[in-house]
Chain A
């Protein structure tokens, strides 16, 4: 099998869910009761036999480092390869000038050093917010077979007017990419959406980065790909199982709620031989008390439930008091809900406390978000 190194961008699309990324990277946004977004990408890599992974970071990456630790929960604590965090490459002479330009170039520089030190023949680049269970080795084999310069994963999805922040990829009958554009709210119907997972030769990426830096390019798709469609051979790899990307807080809410359908859970979590790994917290089992009433909900370990919970997602260590009714809500790690509380369409970040008797409600199109460590 071809040797492959994985590179994950941890801060990509941070501004899509600014509420959740104020204190953390997109990669470490909590999702689905016990996961962080990066767990899906990491698990996909590990389950596809890719055990050398670089995680590119720009800022706010403390929570990410805390989550990844040594990488042993993904079997990525290795003598050779394993997981490496690639922090921004800031020299003593930087930071006084135009910081945006500097950071971008410097991030690139730190990546170049990592990539040139790798021994693998191929490299797979992935965003951190690709919620799917995908066999990447299949994609790599497809890339080797089609002999193209870059292969990009796409999925056919239905675009509505309010879908933004995604890229539409158009390709010909051979799968060769002929156009890449942003969804603008005007184009609707079934389109191939860029999943932001790409495979290429490592040497090819090196050359691209050098070229991009020489030309002052900043966007991979709009500059590197769009400007070279005629001269280079870029292909699509079609993926058609479950995929969710997060483009807004409402999206985040809906994607979590998706997990209440067994088909989404089956195609994400119950794929044979492809479990999703995450940091182990050694929580105790969840304890359901007498008189509690829990329906249609996905619940992690370490919870203690006295009240009513419906259509909700409970992360590890959540406590729900007596006579409390939680509906259509997402309660993150260690949220503490008192007695006689009523919540509807609420997202609580970590360590939120809701005191006795509080009544809070949002709407599914606009969930009510409560920031980390808030006491209501």
Chain B
């Protein structure tokens, strides 16, 4: 082989994301819309290309159609390359067997022949469901400097929340001596971000050994890392400071969207030196009509706003008619909020139409929680959808039935 890549990224994008409920009924979690014009996976893919990693395998399994279509040939991220680029790696039928990916480690194991093709020195393993901007090349440099077998990126979390994460217990020099998954009594606040750098030799060795172990769950956190620690390999924690958020739940997805707002947003997208790339759909500029009031919000191409939008994130092509109010909400592509309708504290999936005078969700102050509104719904005029519910077609049918009875 004449050609090789120093570094190849493997992006785990097969998870269902069941805690996003309606949002992941039709698409995998990495393909869920985020921050007005992005999908969750854009952040990881953009991090790769901005870090100089131009070979990325995307491991898909759950509802891959939208994700495959979105990634395409990788052109939006400059990942259409003659050697390397982005490759979607679904489970496949082999000569001897056909298997779904049984865990994160197994997913990589089943694609070792993909890695062989590029003969990388280092393999970066990533998850496709986090929002952050990170320079992986600095982490790879750190990995080299430490002579590590594996380096795990960690972020400092408040001690009170540490028991929700995988926690790395380290010596002074960041060498990891213990890994605890969601510990009841956390000994440190270094939470794993799900970003790993492996030296190729060790990665192959432990993946192959793990595959042979029938009792293993084939998971990086549960099996591979503990096995490496047990064998005395050099594992280092790479401390990351900056914005990082797991958007695995409705609440955290909403919060992460809100983190983009304000005078000094927690996550600033408007930075030309670390751009987040996304696939575009040729939307015209957005228009704000005479009666429009838009404050503390994100708006993008194709939107037409004649009503009021406050503390909200609007994706492309959203229409807000005269007299309509959208507050504290995340509205995805091509939704229509008709005249005098009210939308409060919601995450609304794309292509849903809210009829005139309808009331969707309840104000955040009332504490009923976020209302989750499904894809492509036709919410009839005057419908009232309470706070904190998950509204899909069945829910709407039931709601309609119950009002008829009254």
Contact = CB atoms under 8 A, between A and B. Distances in A.
Nearest to B77: A282
B297 A288 contact: yes
Contacts of A301: 37, 285, 300-301
B330 to A, nearest CB: 12
A269 B289 contact: no
A72 interface: yes
A262 B75 CA distance: 33
Given A297-B288, A298-B286, A282 B296 contact: no
Q: Tell me what chain B mostly uses at the interface: helix, strand, loop, or mixed.
A: loop
A284 B286 contact: no
Nearest to A34: B285
A300 interface: yes
Interface stretch (A115-123, A273-281, A324-332): A273-281
B287 interface: yes
A285 B295 contact: no
Nearest to A74: B282
B203 interface: no
Contacts of A298: 285-287
B222 to A, nearest CB: 37
Nearest to B263: A289
Given A265-B287, A295-B289, A299-B285, A285 B294 contact: no
A304 interface: yes
Q: How large is the interface on B (under 10, 10 to 19, 20 to 34, 35 or more residues)?
A: 35 or more
Nearest to A283: B270
Contact of B270 (A265, A270, A284, A292): A284
Interface in A29-51: 32-34
Nearest to B281: A275
B284 interface: yes
Contacts, number: 102
Nearest to B269: A284
B289 A286 contact: no
Given A33-B285, A285-B35, A286-B300, A295 B292 contact: yes
Nearest to B36: A285
Contacts of A290: 262-263, 295-296
A285 B287 contact: no
Contacts of A300: 285-286, 301
A295 B309 CA distance: 13
Interface in A286-343: 286-302, 304
Interface in A202-243: none
Contacts of B300: 285-286, 301
Given A285-B298, A285-B300, A286-B300, A295 B286 contact: no
Interface in B303-362: 304, 309, 313
A300 B292 CA distance: 16
Interface string B239-281: 0000000000000000000001111010001100001111011
B262 to A, nearest CB: 8
B299 interface: yes
B33 to A, nearest CB: 12
A297 B287 contact: yes
B357 to A, nearest CB: 23
B288 A299 contact: yes
A283 B270 CA distance: 7
A275 B282 contact: yes
A285 B299 contact: yes
A301 B316 CA distance: 11
Nearest to A270: B284
B290 interface: yes
Given A287-B265, A288-B299, A276 B284 contact: yes
Contact of A292 (B283, B291, B294, B298): B294
Nearest to A304: B270
Contacts of A296: 288-290
Interface string A240-284: 000000000000000000001010010011100001111010111
A178 B269 CA distance: 58
Nearest to B312: A288
Nearest to A302: B270
A268 to B, nearest CB: 8
Interface in A85-127: none
A313 to B, nearest CB: 8
A293 B202 CA distance: 58
Nearest to A300: B285
A260 B278 CA distance: 27
Contacts of A285: 35-37, 260, 269, 298-300, 313
A282 B299 contact: no
Given A33-B285, A72-B75, A287 B261 contact: yes
B286 A299 contact: yes
Given A284-B270, A289-B296, 10 more contacts: A277-B282, A284-B37, A284-B276, A285-B300, A290-B263, A290-B295, A293-B293, A295-B292, A299-B287, A299-B299
17 contacts: A72-B75, A265-B287, A268-B284, A277-B282, A282-B276, A282-B278, A284-B269, A284-B276, A285-B35, A287-B265, A288-B295, A290-B263, A291-B295, A296-B288, A296-B289, A297-B287, A297-B288
Q: Please name the 8 residue pairs, one residue from A and one from B, whose CB atoms are nearest each other, closest first.
A: A284-B269, A33-B285, A285-B36, A269-B284, A275-B282, A285-B300, A285-B298, A284-B270
